[in-house]
C-alpha cells in the first residue's frame, strides 16, 4: 500500500471524470514541514499557530513567531499556506494568558479562539505583525477560528489591516497582499453566511468542532463515537447548504477537519461538491488513491437523492457505491 501511495506522489488528485481536487495538509510544528515534500501536498490548508504557544512556557516573543512563520513559508515555497490565528483558551489553556479554561464547564464552547483574541487584542495584533513580516513580498493567507458572528470577523480583520498599514507607513517589509478567511465551526454562522461571504476570500470548514456542535456530541468522548458521525444526513445536508451558498458567491470552500482524511468521508464530501481538502499528511496518499479511482459526477446525483431519502443509511449506500465503482 505504502509503495502504491509513493507512486501517486507526483500525480494529480484528479477523479476519473476530470474533477481536480486540491489536497493540502494540516501542520502546526516545524517537524511537520518535511511532510510537504514527502506527500507533495498542494500547500498547507491549516497551520495551527497555537502549537507554538502550547509548547512554550512563556508567551512566544514576536521574533520567535516570525522565525517559525518564515520557516513554514520557505518550506512551502510557491505553495500557499493558510495560517490560522491562535486557537487557545478553553481546553487549550496556556498559563501565561489569563484564560478561563479550568473554570469553565464547557471549555469547547467557552472563552477561546477568536473570542479570546478579540478580548486580548494585543495578542492578535502582535501575531498579525509577525505574520505580515514573515510573509514579506508574498501573499499571506489568514483565517480566524470559531467565528460565530460576522462582526467578530470584521473586528479581527480590522486589527490585521491596521497593523499592515502601520508597517507600510513605517516602510517595513510586509506581505504584498492578505487574503482573509473564516473558519466555519459554529453552526449558526451558516445562517448568516450571506452577510459574511462578500467579505471573504475563502471559507474553511472545521468539521471537528462543527460536528460536535451540530450533533451535540463531544468530539473527544469515546462513548459518543457512534453519534459523532461524519456521514449523518444532518451533517451532510448542512455541509451541502454551506457549499451551495459559497460557490455561487465565488468563495472557495475547503474542509480542514479530520473528516476529509478518511477516504469514505472524503468521497462523501466530493459528492456534495467540495473540491478542497486539508488533511493530515498520512492521509494524502489514501485519499488521493480514492479520488483517482472515482467517478464523481454520477456520485453527486446519487448523493443528492440519498440525502432526500428519509432514513437513508449514507454509510452503507456510499460503501456499496464505492465497491461498485471499484474504488
Ligand atoms: C476543526 O475544528 O475541525 C479544526 C480543524 O480545528 P481544530 O481541530 O484545531 O479545533
Ligand atoms: Mg476547531
Strand pairing report for 44-48 and 253-255: unpaired
Whether 253 contacts 205, CB under 8 Å = yes
Q: Which of 28, 183, 208, 278 to mutate to test the pocket of ligand 1 (most atoms within 8 A of CB)?
A: 208
- Taking the CA of 84 as reference, the closest ligand is 1
pLDDT in tens, 59-103: 999 999 999 999 999 999 999 999 999 999 877 888 888 766 567
Ligand 1 atom closest to the CA of 205, numbered from 1? 3
Residue 48 CB–ligand 1 contact under 6 Å: yes
pLDDT tens digits for range 238-269 = 999 999 999 999 999 999 999 999 999 999 99
Distance CA 74, CA 138 (A): 11
What is the value of ipTM here, to two decimals? 0.99
Q: Please say if the pLDDT value at position 228 is more than 70.
A: yes
Cα(89) to centroid of ligand 2, in Å?
A: 12
Q: Give the integer Cα–Cα distance in Å for 152 and 27.
A: 25
Contact 21, 276 (CB under 8 A): yes
Span from the CA of 218 to the centroid of ligand 1 (angstroms): 13
C-alpha cell at position 104: 469553565
Q: Is the pLDDT of residue 323 over 70?
A: yes
Assess whether the C-beta atom of 185 lies below 6 angstroms from ligand 1: yes
- Nearest-ligand number for the alpha carbon of 256: 1
- Give CA separation, 52 vs 23, 81, 84, 125, 177, in Å: 24, 16, 12, 17, 24
For residue 50, the ligand 1 atom closest to its alpha carbon is: 9
Q: Residue 137: left if φ>0, alpha if ψ -120 to 50, beta else—which one?
A: left
87 lines ligand 1 (CB under 6 A): yes
Q: Please, what's the largest Cα pairwise distance for the chain?
A: 62
Nearest Cα to Cα of residue 143 among 98, 199, 191: 199
CA 66 to chain centre: 22
Return the C-alpha cell found at 56: 512554550
Distance 127 CA to ligand 1 centre (A): 19
Residue nearest to atom 6 of ligand 1 (CA): 206
pLDDT band, very low/low/confident/very high, at 114 (cuts 50, 70, 90): very high
Contact predicate 33/27, CB 8 Å: yes
User: Does the Cβ of 258 fall within 6 Å of ligand 1?
Assistant: no
In this prediction, residue 3 carries a pLDDT of 82
206 CB within 6 A, ligand 1: yes
Q: Which residues contact 27 (CB under 8 A, 6 or more apart)?
A: 33, 35, 36, 44, 46, 47, 48, 72, 281
pLDDT over 90 (residue 5): no
- In the chain, the percentage of residues whose pLDDT exceeds 70 is 99
Whether the pLDDT of residue 1 is over 80: the answer is no
- The rounded distance, in Å, linking the Cα atoms of 243 and 50 is 27
Q: How many helices (H) and strands (E) does the chain have?
A: 14, 8
Amino acid at each position: 500500500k505504502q509503495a502504491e501511495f509513493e507512486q501517486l506522489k507526483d500525480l494529480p488528485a484528479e477523479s476519473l471524470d476530470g474533477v481536480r481536487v486540491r489536497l493540502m495538509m494540516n501542520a502546526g510544528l516545524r517537524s511537520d514541514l518535511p511532510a510537504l515534500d514527502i506527500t507533495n501536498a498542494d500547500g498547507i490548508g491549516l497551520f495551527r499557530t497555537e502549537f507554538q504557544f502550547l509548547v512554550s512556557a512563556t508567551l512566544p516573543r514576536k521574533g520567535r513567531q516570525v522565525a517559525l512563520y518564515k520557516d513554514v513559508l520557505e518550506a512551502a515555497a510557491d505553495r500557499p499556506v493558510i495560517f490560522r490565528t491562535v486557537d487557545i483558551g478553553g481546553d487549550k489553556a496556556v498559563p501565561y494568558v489569563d484564560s478561563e479554561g479550568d473554570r469553565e464547564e464547557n471549555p469547547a464552547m467557552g472563552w477561546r479562539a477568536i473570542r479570546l483574541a478579540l478580548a486580548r487584542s494585543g495578542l492578535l495584533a502582535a501575531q498579525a505583525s509577525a505574520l505580515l513580516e514573515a510573509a514579506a513580498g508574498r501573499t499571506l493567507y489568514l483565517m480566524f477560528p470559531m467565528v460565530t458572528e460576522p462582526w467578530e470577523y470584521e473586528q479581527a480583520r480590522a486589527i490585521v489591516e491596521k497593523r499592515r498599514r502601520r508597517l507600510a507607513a513605517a516602510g517595513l517589509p510586509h506581505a504584498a497582499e492578505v487574503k482573509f478567511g473564516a473558519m466555519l465551526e459554529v453552526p449558526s454562522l451558516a445562517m448568516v453566511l450571506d452577510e459574511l461571504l462578500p467579505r471573504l476570500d475563502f471559507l474553511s470548514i472545521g468539521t471537528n468542532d462543527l460536528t460536535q456542535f451540530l450533533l451535540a456530541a463531544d468530539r473527544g468522548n469515546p462513548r459518543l463515537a457512534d453519534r459523532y458521525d461524519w456521514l449523518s444526513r444532518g451533517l451532510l445536508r448542512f455541509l451541502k447548504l454551506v457549499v451551495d451558498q459559497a460557490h455561487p458567491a465565488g468563495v472557495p470552500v475547503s474542509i480542514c477537519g479530520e473528516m476529509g482524511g478518511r477516504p469514505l468521508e472524503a468521497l462523501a464530501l466530493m459528492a456534495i461538491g467540495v473540491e478542497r481538502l486539508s488533511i493530515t499528511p498520512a492521509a494524502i496518499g489514501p485519499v488521493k488513491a480514492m479520488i483517482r479511482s472515482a467517478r464523481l459526477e454520477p456520485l453527486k446525483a446519487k448523493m443528492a437523492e440519498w440525502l432526500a431519502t428519509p432514513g437513508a443509511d449514507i454509510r452503507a449506500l456510499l460503501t456499496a457505491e464505492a465497491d461498485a465503482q471499484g474504488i
